[in-house]
Amino acid sequence: MKRAIAVPCRSLAPVILRALLLAGLALGSLPGLSLAQETTRPWAELFNGTAERSVPRGNGDEHLETDRDSFTPATTLVGRGRTMLETSYSFIDNRRAADTHSFPELLVRHGVTDWLELRLGANYEVGGGGETSGSEIGASDESAHREEESNVLYGFKIAVTEQDEWLPRSALIVHAITPTSGASTATQVVTGYVAGWTLPNGWDLDTSLRYVAGNEDGDHFNQWAPSVVLKMPAGECYNVHVEYFGIFADNAADNRSPQYISPGIHYLISPDLEIGVRVGWGLNNDAAAFFSNVGLGVRF
């Protein structure tokens, strides 16, 4: 779990902690007001049969947590009234096709409420395809025939549950990818569910599963993308992770199932600005030999 920081990282942490403690005591002492009542959200009633759960982490008061940190998206939302911009560049060393360059991998997330955010993105890709960015699942597949393409992404993310002992913190993501140039013309809808736990030692263990009904040259098939990531704080400003993910196809003309192992490191310049790098290696012949990704996230 990333820790909330300011610059400089060490000097302000005790001050912030004391301020938060005093604010909590002050709120709790007001007549007729309790934190549990103030953080209740009706969405929880639909999934848990109760409105007793608090708003999800990432409600705009903590450090940002981007979806681009790893292939597995964040379990948190951007927060009510906040906007987050994420962008990155990926290089993919394909085994059977030309190397891929993918940019700007733009994703803009805006918090409508504490439990709902809207998402809009765009990307341009040149080379032989390949899928190592979580937001681009279903947009492309490694192919010797593809040279370049661009697309737009639009959808939403909904907080489902907050962590309560073994019950994970979780969110539902639905977005569509529409090509704006290139050989493909079909819009694809991607549905994903991400869940995670903050462990007693402060590490985060997150997992996700995405599904898309694929369409490649008139061939309709299913794609499933499971992933799991372990995120570990390294000091006050750094966060490192190690991740496994795969993309499995069925009912396709070529049922390829690339799988990867990927470490990464991220640096919080401030609570609202992060930069990060991740790399990965293919675990089988269906996967690209190597990929790298560098990018940033900024919250307004």
Does 106 have pLDDT greater than 90? yes
Residue 233 domain boundaries: 9-299
Angle (CA) 180-294-169 rounded to 5° is 85
Q: What pLDDT sits at residue 97?
A: 85
Q: How many domains does the chain have?
A: 1
Does 44 have pLDDT greater than 60? no
**Rounded to whole angstroms, how far apart are CA atoms 229 and 241?**
7
Does 82 have pLDDT greater than 60? yes
Lowest-confidence region among 14-18, 106-110, 131-135, 278-282: 14-18
The residue among 121 and 30 whose pLDDT is bigger is: 121
**Rounded to whole angstroms, how far apart are CA atoms 150 and 143?**
15
**Rounded to whole angstroms, how far apart are CA atoms 86 and 67?**
8
Residue 4 lies in a domain: no
The residue among 88 and 59 whose pLDDT is bigger is: 88
Does 60 have pLDDT greater than 90? no
What is the rounded average pLDDT for all residues in the chain?
A: 80
Lowest-confidence region among 51-55, 240-244, 245-249: 51-55
**Rounded to whole angstroms, how far apart are CA atoms 158 and 117?**
7
Does 266 have pLDDT greater than 60? yes
Q: What pLDDT sits at residue 113?
A: 96
Q: What pLDDT sits at residue 251?
A: 76
Residue 2 lies in a domain: no
| pTM score | 0.76
Q: What pLDDT sits at residue 138?
A: 54
Kindly compute the dihedral angle of the four CA atoms of residues 263, 268, 271, 272, in this order, to the nearest 10 degrees.
-80
Q: What pLDDT sits at residue 135?
A: 59
Residue 1 lies in a domain: no
Residue 17 lies in a domain: yes
Residue 108 lies in a domain: yes
Residue 3 lies in a domain: no
**CATH code of residue 212:** 2.40.160.40
Residue 269 one-letter amino acid? I
Question: Do 216 and 247 touch, CB atoms closer than 8 A?
Answer: no
**Rounded to whole angstroms, how far apart are CA atoms 66 and 107?**
10
Of 206, 129, 191, the closest CA to residue 157 belongs to: 191
Positive or negative, the Cα torsion across 110, 112, 118, 120? negative
**Rounded to whole angstroms, how far apart are CA atoms 215 and 218?**
6
Tokens of 299: 């919250």
